[in-house]
Amino acid sequence: MSLLSPGTELLRFRRGTLPKIAVGVLLFIPLIYGALYLWAFWAPDKHLDALPIALVNEDVPATRADGSTLAAGDDVVAQLLADGQLGWRQVSADDAHSGVDDGTYAFAVTIPRGFSASIASVETGAPRAATLDVAYNDTNGFLATTLGQHAMVQVRDAIASSTTQATANAMLVGLSQLGDGMRDASTAAVTLDKGAHDLSDGLSSIGEGAAALDDGASRAAAGAHDLSDGVTAVASGADELTAGLSSLQRGTATLPDSATALAAGAGQVAQGVESISQLAAAYPNMTLAQLEATLEAKGSSLDGLAAGADAVSDGSNQLSRAVPGLKDAVDALEDGAQRLAAGTDDLSAGASDLATGLDGLASGADALRRGASDAGSGAAALAAGADEFSSTLSEGAALAPEYSASDISLLSEIAANPVTLHETTENEVQGFGDGFAPFFIALATFVGALITWLILRPLPRRPLATNASGLRTVMTGYVPAVIIAAGQVAIMMTVLVAGVGLRPEHLVATTLFVALTTLAFLALQQMFIVLLGTAAGRVVSLVLLMLQLSSSGGTYPVETTPSFFGALHPYMPATYVVDGLRALIGGGIDARFWTALVFMTGLLVASLAVSAWAAGRQKVWTVARLHPELAL
């Protein structure tokens, strides 16, 4: 049963308030070191909206190819402020620069002057990517820079999504304009094709009309030649007939009846000959239509002439029978009459051919006229279509973007990455090792002091029994700890620099500041022990250690942690240790370093002073000192 009994070890915590508090602290130590740290850094990337980021807009709106104004910088600012993923603060360039230098802002993003012009450049022959300038400062925290770089990738992609739309729009506008030009050219090509067909049809009509005209002209010429021959033959036959009639008239005076009949026939013949002679004489001046009409009108005269010739022939036959002595005259008269009849037939056929030829000639001329008209219309349409085709192709070519092979390659890259980041880092550290060194050095020096006071007595009892002052009493315990601390600092810095590879910009100053930090933490923890007692003082040191780990900003920016840690941040000694070492390691010595130097020096002096005051009061022994509530 004695094994299950709490025994006297726990019973001694029943008396007094401080032992009970100590037991409670013991119960919560795992919680403090486990849950508190996890709470502080549970999801810092989800609270980047609390991280102050300077935003500068120096962009000047640009004019696009279509004459519209592009203010991409204003659009980006509006997009970032509306998105709210980061703690954007729109400030001037000077405020951003000074704010990044002194830690007011974790980093700064500047939209440069030619941002809009770069976005609009995809519509020109010289496309270029737009650029965002990002300025980091590792003195503000390595993880702040790292988080900022990751955040800026997302910001870039978000901005790129909107600018890609502008890029694609510009490219599609060019393609659309080219398409419009091609469609207009297609319409013009249809007009051109129609004009070509009309011209071809007109030329075909001209060919047909020319062929018909040539055929009609040939037939008219042949008919005219036949008509001329017929007229000549008729005229010759008429002359012979007239001569024969004259002879016959003289020789047939005794044949009145036959002569009378023969004379009447001869008169008819003479009258027809006279009409034919007049027609032959008048033909060269007649138009085609008049000639045809005249021939048709004179058909009866020709018939009369033929009838007269027949009458003469009959009379001649009668005279021949009646007057054998006149046989030769009658034969001659008959031959003349036959030649006159043959010439009359030739004359009639020639007139008919001439009329047909004239009809063909008129038809060919009309076809030629129509073909010429169609050809003229087709030629006009062809010219108009050619002009429209050329004009629309020129307009489409002018509207369509013209890219060389290098331009196409560059434009494809810009389309894929329309926005690039131009990042610069002030006081840049080499990597995670240099970046986390301030935090771990602060942790190491605090833990080193804690372990030191586990071995050494913070306040030796011998000096308390003398007339030594409180400060001298405190220094009696402090100086041995300082000697050990010097060895700790020397060993740690040697290994960090020579072994691990830490490369501080200011090595000596870094070493001295680490020594100051160690001395200050020794004095601080000695103060807790002298003031509160060994047990309580060490518990307070352990609790302070955890609070410093989670609120110093040595890892994630304190702005990304719960507000509880942000409230503790200015009062934690490790905060100033981290700030000072960041400046010395990265090289960016600014007001934060001097503040850290003053704070740690003040902490050292104040801790020693409080310890001296508390040690002075412990010169008097009391029951509480003889029997402390909590002792180790």
pLDDT tens sequence across 260-273: 665 666 566 556 65
Could you tell me which of 87, 8, 30 has the C-alpha nearest to residue 53?
Answer: 87
pLDDT score for 147: 81
Q: Write the DSSP assignment of 344-358 as a string of letters.
A: HHHHHHHHHHHHHHH
pLDDT score for 419: 79
Alpha carbon distance 459, 523 (integer Å): 11
Instruction: Locate 302 and state its tokens.
Output: 């020709």
Alpha carbon distance 308, 245 (integer Å): 13
DSSP assignment letter at 4: T
Alpha carbon distance 398, 386 (integer Å): 18
Q: Which of 300-309, 317-326, 462-471, 500-509 has the highest mean pLDDT?
A: 500-509
Model confidence pLDDT, tens digit, residues 386-426: 676 667 666 656 655 565 666 666 666 666 667 788 888 88
Q: Mapping DSSP to helix (H, G, I), strand (E, B) and coil, where does residue 158 land?
A: helix
pLDDT score for 555: 86
* % of the chain surpassing 90 pLDDT: 24
Instruction: Locate 254 and state its tokens.
Output: 């005794």
* Backbone phi and psi for residue 354, each to the nearest 5 degrees, phi listed first: -65, -40
Model confidence pLDDT, tens digit, residues 439-456: 999 999 999 999 999 999
pLDDT score for 1: 45
Could you give the angle at which helices 432-455 and 470-494 cross, rounded to 10 degrees?
Answer: 140
Q: Are strands 130-137 and 69-70 parallel, antiparallel or unpaired?
A: unpaired
Model confidence pLDDT, tens digit, residues 472-499: 889 999 999 999 999 999 999 999 999 9
Model confidence pLDDT, tens digit, residues 70-103: 888 888 888 888 888 888 999 999 999 999 988 8
Could you tell me which of 364, 363, 365, 352 has the C-alpha nearest to residue 223?
Answer: 352
Is the Cβ–Cβ distance between 386 and 193 less than 8 Å?
no
What are the CA-CA distances from residue 626 to residues 221, 297, 630 (Å)? 162, 171, 11
The residues, any chain, with a CB within 8 Å of residue 204's CB and separated by 6 or more, are: 371
Alpha carbon distance 457, 465 (integer Å): 15
The residues, any chain, with a CB within 8 Å of residue 122's CB and separated by 6 or more, are: 166, 167, 170, 171, 411, 414, 415, 418
* Average confidence (pLDDT) over 42-65: 86
* 67-76 contacts at long range (C-beta below 8 A, 24 or more positions apart): 70/116, 70/119, 70/120, 70/166, 71/116, 72/115, 72/116, 72/119, 72/120, 72/130, 72/163, 72/166, 73/111, 73/115, 73/116, 75/162, 76/111, 76/115, 76/159
Domain 47-184+402-426: give its CATH architecture: 3-Layer(aba) Sandwich (3.40)
- Rg (alpha carbons) of the chain, rounded to whole number: 65
- Sign, CA dihedral 408-413-419-422, equals negative
* % of the chain surpassing 70 pLDDT: 53
Give the residue extent of every domain in the chain: 7-40+430-626, 47-184+402-426, 199-397
Choice between 234 and 198, residue whose per-residue pLDDT is larger: 198
DSSP assignment letter at 165: H
Is the Cβ–Cβ distance between 417 and 217 less than 8 Å?
no
Measured from the Cβ of residue 25, the count of other Cβ atoms closer than 10 Å reads: 16
Instruction: Locate 360 and state its tokens.
Output: 């063909």
Say which amino acid occupies 270. Answer: A
Instruction: Give, for 604, the enclosing helix (H) or strand (E).
Output: helix 591-617
Say which amino acid occupies 48. Answer: L
Model confidence pLDDT, tens digit, residues 367-382: 656 766 766 666 666 6
Among 47-51, 163-167, 461-465, the range scoring the smallest mean pLDDT is: 163-167
pLDDT score for 499: 92
**pLDDT at residue 551 greater than cutoff 80:** yes
pLDDT score for 165: 60
Burial class of 314 by CB neighbour count within 10 A (0 to 12, 13 to 18, 19+): middle
pLDDT score for 207: 64
* 191-194 contacts at long range (C-beta below 8 A, 24 or more positions apart): 191/381, 191/384, 191/385, 191/388, 191/389, 192/382, 192/385, 192/386, 192/388, 192/389, 193/385, 194/381, 194/385
Q: What's the pTM?
A: 0.61
Q: Which of 96-105, 170-179, 183-192 has the highest mean pLDDT?
A: 96-105
585: left (phi over 0), alpha (psi -120 to 50) or beta: alpha
**pLDDT at residue 582 greater than cutoff 90:** yes
The residues, any chain, with a CB within 8 Å of residue 182's CB and separated by 6 or more, are: 396
Model confidence pLDDT, tens digit, residues 607-622: 999 999 988 877 655 5
Instruction: Locate 606 and state its tokens.
Output: 């104040």
